[in-house]
Structure 1
Amino acid sequence: MSQQYTIADYLFDRVAEAGASEIFGVPGDFNLTFLDNVLASDKLRWVGNTNELNAGYAADGYARERGFAAMVTTFGVGELSAINATAGSFAEYAPVLHIVGAPSTALQDAKRRIHHSLGDGVFNHFIKMVEPVTVARAQLTPENAASEIDRVIRLILKKHRPGYLLLSPDVARQPIYPPTTKLIDSQEDITSQAALADFKQALTEFLPNKTTTLMADLMVHRLGLQSQLKALIADTDIPYTTLSWGKTLLDENSERWAGTYAGVASRPIVKDAVENCECLIKVGVQYTDTTTAGFSQDIDEEYSSRLAL
């Protein structure tokens, strides 16, 4: 086994495999050591930012376009500066991995009062703070690094929401074997085929001779399902609409485009197509106050079919 391949190399190889070719962030004394691994990588390019909040927003936009992003900050003050962007990524389903450079394990074990901490010798305050706005978190050790890196990144890709890894410089330098599996190897199709068959049968029996409208929204884009949605539209002749967050998802020049639905703020033709149809097919729709004019939608959920994404 080559002693040159380290936990930091493993981490950044997985970042590249997940779909990133750039990493955003701000250097700090607890991440400088493993930032050298980014600079040495032939798969990744370092993009420095003026502050951590900017790095978080840059990663958020990148994730929306590329399907995955990563940023690096230092412990405490650095990561707290980025948490507002991380919360936005969580709310908007942007898959961003936040890698935080932590004090050495020796300093943590000794409970030293050091800079960038709360000065109490406790080093898990900040990983607790990000729990509500991340789908997975881990403090990496030489023993758990490979499994935890893979677990966190896989959950980010599956849930399309942020994750968090805490990495000390001494852990980052530890040797490890390169990965021999792919991140996608554990991505299972968890949809029950029996449930899918029953749904198709029920829809086939219900739809004939019913006035039907299709409504799509933001989650189609966040989960990268635009081509599947367009194929569904192409296979039917029913009218379709989106909420305001779903703008640009569908062809708005088609004769089948009803318009943007916004509850009581909708144009009459759109309101009629959505609220008075006999079957409303919803794809990636999540009602919010801003997209429904204060939850003013008048939709009988008994006559709607939601395609779970």
Structure 2
Amino acid sequence: MATVAHHIRSYYDPADREQLEKETGQIPIDEEEQWNTAPTFSAARRAPPPSFVPARLQYDEWGSAVSLTHEPKKEATTKNNWFIKKALQSEPSSKPSSPAPSLADLLARDPPPLPTEERFVPPVWLAIGPSNKGFNLLQKGGWNEGEGLGAHAISRDILPDVIDLTQPDSEPEDDFESFHRSSSLARLAPASSATKEPDPHSQKSLLTPIPTILKSDRLGIGLKAKTEGPYKQSKKRVTHNQAALASHIRTSEELRRKRAEVGRGRRGFAKVRKREENERKHMLAYLNE
């Protein structure tokens, strides 16, 4: 087996050590010297002093600088946007602003009754109002607001206005009024004779809604609560969330406070109506001062 032998001979001279370290990159870099010789950041980034620029606009022209506003570029009319552009051009540039009606405007539009006229009785709508369809159907059938329903309920007949178109225009208006009054009395005579006086012990209709009771527990209604599930959990029949429960408690407290203050039934409504009449009188007296 043949072998190869290598002989390494070094001609190292200690005087050439610094030159060899520079050639091989073994000289350590002095960071402190580099920090001292590097330029400072503040001197390199210092901004020049600002220069004075004279104003071009006068003080009176400061608010009328129309040239500074950039007008939007008009979009070209194409087959895709011509319809919406026509619609936008047809509507008015500025809508007329209607001022909020004041109390004097409301009183001038609907003035209160005079002392010689019949007193104003505000309507009491407990659940539904004239916007309801059933409310309008009941009114067309002869029912008035504040009356009960049923055969025992006393209702006021609404007399429709009768206009005689066969009467010539040459006749005076007094004859027409007397004719209209006599015809209405003739129609009311048999109807009033047919009606009977209501029995004081007869049934009275309910004019106010029955108050509902909100159950806050999880028990059912009855002697024994119904359960469900394998663990016999009580079935909650009256389901309400926390917000509805808080609103119900708040409404009940307000109703209880109002009932203790004004009473209940017709006397309570009469007391509230009288208080509102006094407030309106005081307001009118204050406005007339």
Confirm or deny a common fold (TM above 0.5): no
Higher relative contact order (CA 8 A, sep 6+): 1
Structure possessing the higher radius of gyration over alpha carbons = 2
Question: Which category describes the TM-score, using the shorter chain as reference length?
Answer: under 0.3
Q: TM-score, normalized by length of structure 2?
A: 0.17
**Structure with the bigger percentage of strand:** 1
TM-score by length of 1: 0.16
